[in-house]
Structure 1
């Protein structure tokens, strides 16, 4: 039987915040516990001190003015105290920038091996919000990852970016999909029909949906480019600071607000097509969730989506630098039902083996154990 590990996860975000970092950490914790490992989570306050029986150490935090719903963890003596008390085999740094940097320093002082997971393009975030400091933050991110024992990147684009910043020892580690939650069986005909016939006219529309945070870094204002396509109804699933602008400028769209769990799975599966607008994604988990839901995908030919969408086979990629490309690509998919079916089927096949259990097992056996100097051990028969 494989040696069971004690894993301390220092994360920049955790519940009650809901985002890509939180979701990845949650799945990692769930499957570490299921496989007999012992995790500890260290995350910014506020929030519960326990997640499904796993202790969560909360540290001091501040809320940035431009994004008050996203607390930033501050360097805190609680990090090193928690690590020293827990005595982990390995420290997992989830999207390290602030709290993760403190976790890295503490781990190095305690002689603990570290695995850093690159997930958020913070310099790009600053650029999108028109804030200063992009170059200095990029250097800071690179410094953190250079000092970690191993950095895991989710995509080819992320690998190239960190490599260009001089970060060594880069390894690909993708993301899983909750195949127990997302699937075509959750499609609700009455929900689809309500969306398809909402608003103007009686003829049903092709339902094209966006799912995710409604924020500038997701470039959601580009949804306006497809909102008036003949025969198309846009459905927006999510919440964020761009919500009011979108409501004003997409008067014919349907807004569901933020959804989770089964409600989210039903929303995905009830779409005719899924579109993603952000071109600075390091991965783009919503693409995989749409594919798992049996929905054809349209995404930018940039960043993480390039690894997730084989153009013309498992989805369609548009050129984000070509003003008409998003609109023409969605129009092509909207008028070709047969193409939608082919892309949906191929996308579903692509994610069929990408369940989170196998992805977390890969994290443990190939990455945690290698930084510990342990050979990967086979599971018990």
Structure 2
């Protein structure tokens, strides 16, 4: 099956979508499919990754607010690319204008929209959540919900990686929404990486001894991740318990977070760890993962933490909440710093349970399920032919 992914968020600069797509190129080829990614690029080009997998770049302008990314601006050029590739199955990876463009393409291939973004949680709920309920915000953003319902009519399947997001989509009238959870990179994250010396060294960076509780947070330093709230909660919890926090990430918000953490020697705003094995060792050596973002569509870092047998402290909304199922896991009220503070205090004072990891769901499991769903969509057309 030739699967064409129209991926507006794919960029050579990295990010979660790039990690996902790169794995899909490999998994799809291994499963006998031909994977073609159409992405906005600096110029028109074709990049062959390996036999049966390639990226078709379409010349596109950069996004004004983040020039690492580009956006599809020429619908005719996009339709022309689809005509030339002749997909058996189409994916769109963004709920914005590119999804509408794909929906208007006149070809007969079944199409699926993969919700790699949850704009309402990332923006509207975050901006206005202190002023109005989610139901009121949804009513105020009726135009966006109408857009999603139009996409629902134009697509055969709407794929969400989070049951939380699927439930909200269905409640909003997106009838074709279904959950296909993602997973972790196979064979990497494991509690076997736990290293007492590494843990002690990280606590020393926080100015603390080995009897303290070590929290890690992993992700971009951007506003929707709410790292400022996490830092403030750890500051406050630290008046009652001995707690260190190590943040691992990058982004334009780093300078502000360093300034925000300056009031405590027990908070380290670190850089991203590019080596995946080193990241796996670091996560397995902590006492819990703390996460501030309620807008995750899956929350890969929480899945990686579960695979490492690392307890979770996560908001009660969004993709991260789906992973908090263990005895030591804790959920706090999303976007509520006081609730997070109290949850951290309670976690640090708990009696430690034996950490038993689940068999982790992998990205290959995800793609097996996704490709099977696509085969089911194509079956009526194949039978009719």
Contact 1:146 1:166 in 2 (8 A): no
Q: Number of aligned residue pairs: give it.
A: 361
SS in 2 for 1:73: coil
2:14 to 15, 18, 25: 18
Superposed, 1:311-350 pairs within 5 Å as 313=327, 315-320=329-334, 322-336=336-350, 338-339=352-353, 342=354, 344-345=355-356, 348-349=357-358
Q: In structure 2, what is the equivalent of residue 379 of structure 1?
A: none
CA shift, 1:147, in A, is: 1.1
2:118 to 109, 121, 124: 121
**Using a 3 Å threshold, how does the CA distance of structure 1 residues 321 and 40 change in structure 2: closer, same or farther?**
closer
**Using a 3 Å threshold, how does the CA distance of structure 1 residues 183 and 202 change in structure 2: closer, same or farther?**
closer
Q: What CA distance in whole angstroms lies between the structure 1 residues aligned with 2:289 and 2:340? A: 12
CA shift, 1:57, in A, is: 1.1
**Using a 3 Å threshold, how does the CA distance of structure 1 residues 203 and 303 change in structure 2: closer, same or farther?**
closer
CA shift, 1:278, in A, is: 0.9
Q: What CA distance in whole angstroms lies between the structure 1 residues aligned with 2:20 and 2:166? A: 19
Q: What CA distance in whole angstroms lies between the structure 1 residues aligned with 2:208 and 2:174? A: 55
Give the alignment's TM-score, normalised by structure 1: 0.85
Q: Mind listing any 5+ residue stretches in structure 2 that lack a counterpart?
A: 129-136
CA shift, 1:33, in A, is: 0.9
Q: What CA distance in whole angstroms lies between the structure 1 residues aligned with 2:190 and 2:39? A: 31
SS in 2 for 1:50: strand
CA shift, 1:76, in A, is: 4.1
Q: What CA distance in whole angstroms lies between the structure 2 residues aligned with 1:51 and 1:259? A: 28
Q: Deviations over 1:260-287 (max 9, x none)?
A: 3223222222222101111222322211
**Using a 3 Å threshold, how does the CA distance of structure 1 residues 259 and 214 change in structure 2: closer, same or farther?**
same
Moved more, 277-286 or 127-136: 127-136
**Using a 3 Å threshold, how does the CA distance of structure 1 residues 203 and 87 change in structure 2: closer, same or farther?**
closer
Contact 1:75 1:102 in 2 (8 A): no
1:256 to 270, 281, 305: 270
Q: What CA distance in whole angstroms lies between the structure 2 residues aligned with 1:369 and 1:11? A: 20
Q: State yes or no: 1:308 paired with 2:323.
A: yes
Q: What CA distance in whole angstroms lies between the structure 1 residues aligned with 2:155 and 2:206? A: 53
SS in 2 for 1:152: strand
SS in 1 for 2:270: strand
Q: In structure 1, what is the equivalent of residue 4 of structure 2?
A: 8
Q: What CA distance in whole angstroms lies between the structure 2 residues aligned with 1:264 and 1:134? A: 39
Q: State yes or no: 1:169 paired with 2:176.
A: yes
SS in 1 for 2:149: helix
Contact 2:11 2:69 in 1 (8 A): no
Superposed, 1:112-261 pairs within 5 Å as 112-127=109-124, 134-200=141-207, 205-228=212-235, 229=238, 230-251=241-262, 252=265, 253-260=267-274, 261=276
Q: Mind listing any 5+ residue stretches in structure 1 that lack a counterpart?
A: 377-381
SS in 2 for 1:18: coil
Q: What CA distance in whole angstroms lies between the structure 1 residues aligned with 2:75 and 2:297? A: 28
Q: What CA distance in whole angstroms lies between the structure 2 residues aligned with 1:268 and 1:50? A: 34
Q: Deviations over 1:30-60 (max 9, x none)?
A: 2111112111001121498436322211124
**Using a 3 Å threshold, how does the CA distance of structure 1 residues 275 and 156 change in structure 2: closer, same or farther?**
same
2:300 to 276, 285, 309: 285
Superposed, 1:92-103 pairs within 5 Å as 92-103=91-102
Q: In structure 1, what is the equivalent of residue 310 of structure 2?
A: 295
Give the alignment's TM-score, normalised by structure 2: 0.84
Q: What CA distance in whole angstroms lies between the structure 1 residues aligned with 2:208 and 2:307? A: 32
CA shift, 1:305, in A, is: 2.9
SS in 2 for 1:59: strand
**Using a 3 Å threshold, how does the CA distance of structure 1 residues 171 and 130 change in structure 2: closer, same or farther?**
closer
Q: Deviations over 1:146-191 (max 9, x none)?
A: 3111111222321232223322222211101113121123334433
